[in-house]
Structure 1
Amino acid sequence: MIGKFRALPLRSRLALLVAVAVAVAVAAVSTTCWFLVRGKLYDELDSKLQAAIPDIRVGPNDIATLLRTCPQAPAAYGGPKPVYYYQLVRNGHDKPCVFANSAGTVEIDSRDQDVARHADPTVWTFRNGTDTNGKDIRVLAFAAIAQGPGGGIVSDTAMVIGYPLKETEGTLNDLALLLLIVSGIGVVGAGVAGLWVARTGLKPVDRLTGAVEHVARTEDLTVRIPVEGEDEIARLSRSFNSMTAALASSRDRQAQLIADAGHELRTPLTSLRTNIELLARSDETGRAIPPADRAALMASVKAQMTELAALIGDLQELSRPDAVDRGPLKVVGLHEIAEAALERARLRGPELRFEAELEPWYVRAEPAALERALVNVMDNAVKFSPTGGTVEVGLRQGELTVRDHGPGIPADELPHVFERFWRSPSARALPGSGLGLSIVARTVQQSGGEISLGPAAGGGTRAVIRLPGAATPPPG
């Protein structure tokens, strides 16, 4: 049953749930109403029975005569047709003693004999019963009390008064039928209203579904859903619009990256192809290339292969999503990583002078990625430093500075230095892919820090990396 319910369309399930909820509510209200009316009618009927206790001047001898003769049926009565039932019930006797003006004979119940046996005038019992003809009646039983001069309670005897339930049951049956009809109309109306509400309420979901299907079918990420209000559907629509905008931006960046990568790869590949074709043609024609030229060609091939390998490595680094686990973060000494990067920079610029002042500072980062970022920053300083120049490296209170004394970066180019594949016109003749600073910025941001480049006082460029500190690791 649950499986069949879940297989229904969402709007059908909503309509069915609304109809069931209304049906349960209507059934509960109708049942409560019926029982309240029934209780009220029975209270009025019980009051009527109490008010109908006969004011008959019969003394103990007369009651004794009635009990002694104990007629089993009412006597012929010349007045209006009686409505109430009157009879005496004796404890231990199956046959009642019926009054002359009784409307009939009430079937004796064990509760009537209990009242007779206890003879307690404070005990009044009400019940539903039948007469000897099978008619339903409401019955009151209480201990019989003599109304004559002798007074007192007649031992082991109860008086039973009854009234027909035909009118009361007719009223209750009419009420039940009315409540059933109203409930049926209410349930049907609730089902129709639920279906209408489901269709109306799910229109935004239908639009969202259509948009998703359109995107899946056409890969058109420019689709946007109109947003109205502040409800859950509006939030879902905003989220979908944000998602498609992010996907479109990501696809545009991916396309731009592929285009830029193709452009950057074309230069070293063209140079490699030209040099290799010259070497191959020399072997095919048997015309030897002068040793000096051959050595220059081989050096150029090696340099282009190195540049190509570096470019591929940078592309692989940038292709990794930010959310991908890049390795465990560790508490490492920034001063130690900076010293290691500085040693590698010295190898690449043996003609330069390096001045370093590194204070201890611990950060939480991925050691390999952080070292590569610092190497890229120092490589830039080496690349743009004049021969015999000085590269200054300092680390104070979590702020790492790398300064060169090169030509500096023009103010109009500073906003672009961290863009992928961007290279200043003055640096396009130098080796590099334009990805180094982009990788540096990404690594620093993933470590919770920030990086900036700007002109240095007295000329050159000053790079500043700020990283939040971490607790010093225990010794050993």
Structure 2
Amino acid sequence: MTGPVAWFRSRPLRSRLALLTAFAVAVAVAAVSAACWFVTRVQLEAELDSSLRSTRLDTNGVQSLLALCRQGATPPPLAGSYTVQVILAGGSVCTSGEAAIPAGTGELAVARGQLDDVLRTVKDDDGREMRVYTYPQDGPVGIAVSVARPLSEIDNSMSTLRWVLLLVSGIGVVGAGAAGLWVARTGLEPVNRLTDAVEHVAATEDLTVRIPVEGEDEIARLSRSFNAMTAALASSRDRQAQLIADAGHELRTPLTSLRTNVELLARSEETGRAIPPDDRRALMASVKAQMTELAALIGDLQELARPDAVQPDHPLEVVPLHAILRTALDRARLRGPELTFDTDLAPWYVRAETPALERALVNVLDNAVKFSPPRGTVEVTLMRGELTVRDHGPGIAPDELPHVFDRFWRSPSARSLPGSGLGLSIVARTVQQAGGTVSLEPAEGGGTVARLRLPGAPTPPPEL
């Protein structure tokens, strides 16, 4: 890698800290300078506009200018940098100033009594930008007076301010960089004494090695933090290894289904035997659903691989639990076509993340489908925020119930079945994020009951 980023990364840490400090100060100073420059310009323009509005030419002055123009004489310029024009309704213009200012439709409209006044920026005949205020002359309709001043007055002041701001900003940035370098050198000096121990751990890659901790100063705190970090990394590495071993089982079913659908589509293209439009649409919809499921599953696997993945990536929203449950039931029926689903769903709205909630419901239903006997019945009830899913399978041993929501845990009797042991842990995480509870318990007469309780209401809140 080459370029500024590579150069920056190659600098010592203290130099990078100094550069970052200088950069941060430069950004702050630039923002303040830009705001100062902008506010000052707006204020100067407002003062200029106010000055133009307060400048009025009396009737005698207007008549004198008109008289000079009728005689073919050039009216003398007024004191200061003002330019004054008398505009007649017919379009005639009499100018007192260095150069005439083109009279536009706005000025003519004021002269004809169609507008009260006009304030705009134009260029005079010499190419200078002028701020022009036009108002109707007191008396008979048909005369308007334009009072103008050059914007160069503001530009000159702003140019001076610009150089002052640049000078002050430059001094501030250089000073901040020097101060940052001094602070970095002073603050990082004790870290050098810890470097040898850290490099030893890095060279051996043995995360079980711990750095001896002595004292209670900052270096001791850093050593304790490093020891805690290596312990967490060792635990994380073990979980990642387990995740890699188990993720293939969780991904196998949707990948196999996706591969089957794609092969059907490919075989149709190769043999020239067209698939009926309805079947083709169904296949494409199934492929899309399976790809979505795979993406969601991979996201869940990554989230579960992190130590404390308890917060959702997106804000929670109010969603209809009963509608999401129906969608999950449709997917469960595809995986257990020989099963009967006995459902009783009452409306219930909860605050949750829709994709995660649907994934959790699918996991609960898949668990019931997986352990149901052939041609069995799965009973699904949603009533007053309590969802129960009962199967009529072999059930769960009492000593296994405390472990059913542990990550990667699988019952010894179910290890021959597909799955990675992530499904119920995903359910528990999602339900906890929604503020609810989940439990598995033996059902009367055999089987298992999954019970989810989610806070909510039978009707959506008014903001929906």
TM-score (norm 1): 0.43
TM-score (norm 2): 0.44
Structure with larger Rg: 1
